[in-house]
Structure formats: structure tokens, C-alpha cells
Amino acid sequence: MSKFYSRWKKQLIRSKILSGLSRFPGYFRDWRRYSRMEGAEPIRLNDTYPCLFDKTSGTGVDSHYFYQHVWAMEKIAVHRPAQHIDVGSNVDFVGLLSTITKVQFVDIRPMAVNNLPNLESTYGSILELPYADNSVESISCLHVAEHIGLGRYGDPLDPLGTKKAAAELARSLKPGGNLYFSLPVGQPRLCFNAHRIHAPQQILDYFKGLKLVEFSGSTDDKTFLRNTDMQPFAAMRYACGMFWFTK
């Protein structure tokens, strides 16, 4: 019964309570109509699973995550490293990436996966990666570093968290290797304890020992710009900056 209550409660707290309540009459009308159709399966109360917010005119896309995953996947597919290291990025991205090369996923919260021979998940902190200096051929860290030091994911509080994470990624990268890095960019500010927004130039300063090969990004209006000028992004509120570095 706990799952039953959870499914119904989620529809009320997903947005404003009144918005959720206003959608239930339509749900009950559909329930009644479906039950009367020929061949309809029985609807048991304990199995009901109201989904009230999916009747939309288009499919929603998180422009940060969608575009950064396409951007990074394309580049890794071209270079085809023998092994790719990912530090804390979205697990769907990591899983898909393992279909084209061996991937080691590193996070303080390892994921439990099985029967994926190309994917290994291991415990590790972005502030102390389990790799020697100048040893990693290909590494990604997508929409992760902006959280470091805010305690959101159980990491220690540290105002220099993003800067230290960048230094550790740079330390691990081998000469000639590739680093794919992304995070929110725009007018710098801290949204505690969700994330930080950095000016694009801050990221270049954090990785000053590396060479920027390409900057791409998703703008405030969700436009994806490939290999573009980063200066306009400095004035944005919450854009996504995608940095391809090499050493």
C-alpha cells in the first residue's frame, strides 16, 4: 500500500497542489470510460498509477543534459578510446556510452549495474581520483563540478569545490588526452545548495594548464550552438557551457 499512496501523493506535490487536484477529474473520467470499453482489463485500486501531467503538445527536453550528452557522445565516438573514464555524469549517458567503448564510472555514490561487460562502476571522489598523474586518455565530467563542495550529494562543504575538481581532472589527463567538461555558465552566483553558475572565463582559469579545443553550449533560450564564441554566454542566466580540453 505504501507504493500506492506514494504514486498518488506524487501527483499532488509534483507542482502546486491545486494544479494536481484540478487534473484528477479528467483522470476519473478516463478511468470510467476505459472501464466500459470492450476488452478492458480490470482496474484494481491498489494498482492505479495516476499520471496527470503528461498530456502535452510536445515532448519536454532538458536542454542542458540532452545537448551535452549528444555533444560528448559524438566526440568520444569519433576518437574511440580503448577506455573512457566518466566522473559522476548522468547514468543514462554512461550506459549508452558503454555500447561503443569500455567505460569506468567513478562516483562517491557508485551505481549497481550488472550484465554490462563494458561498464564498470567504482567508488571515487572527484577531489581525489584513483588515477596517476597524466594517465587518463579520455575523461568526461558533465554537469557535476558545479555541485562539488555544497554537500548536496554527501560531499564535504568547500567553497573551492569546483576549482579543486577541475584541478584533479586536469592532473589525471595524459598529454594528448581529451577532457569533456560541462556545467552551468552565465552570471556567476551560488544557488545553495543546488549548484553554482560560473562565468565561462572562470572555467578557462581553472583549466589554465590545458588547451581549449572547442566551446559549445546551450543558451538561455535552449538553442544549441556548436563550436561557438563563449563571450555571449557570460551575460546569460543559466546556460550550459561545454568545454573540450586537451593537454
126 in Cβ contact with 69 (< 8 Å): no
53 within a domain of the structure (yes/no) = no
Q: Which residues of 119-144 are buried (b: 16+ CB within 10 A; e: fewer)?
A: bbbeebbbbebebeeeebebbbbbbb
Q: Which domain holds residue 35?
A: 2-47
Q: Residue 7: its pLDDT value, please?
A: 65
Could you identify the residue written with the cell 548522468? 90
- Give the closest residue to 136 by CA, choosing from 104, 173, 96: 173
Write down the pTM of the prediction: 0.89
One domain for residues 83 and 160: yes
Q: Residue 14: its pLDDT value, please?
A: 54
184 within a domain of the structure (yes/no) = yes
**What confidence tens digit (pLDDT) does each residue in 36-94 have?**
999 999 999 999 998 888 888 999 999 999 999 999 999 999 999 999 999 999 999 99
Question: Low-confidence residues of the chain, pLDDT below 50?
Answer: none
All residues at 6 or more sequence positions from 34 whose CB lies less than 8 Å from its CB, including other chains: 40, 43
Q: What is the CATH number of the domain that holds 164?
A: 3.40.50.150
Q: Residue 173: its pLDDT value, please?
A: 98
Q: Residue 21: its pLDDT value, please?
A: 78
One domain for residues 89 and 30: no
One domain for residues 39 and 94: no
Q: Residue 203: its pLDDT value, please?
A: 98
One domain for residues 78 and 179: yes
211 within a domain of the structure (yes/no) = yes
CA distance 163 to 145: 8
Q: Where are the alpha helices (DSSP H) in the chain?
A: 2-13, 17-35, 63-79, 91-97, 161-172, 200-206
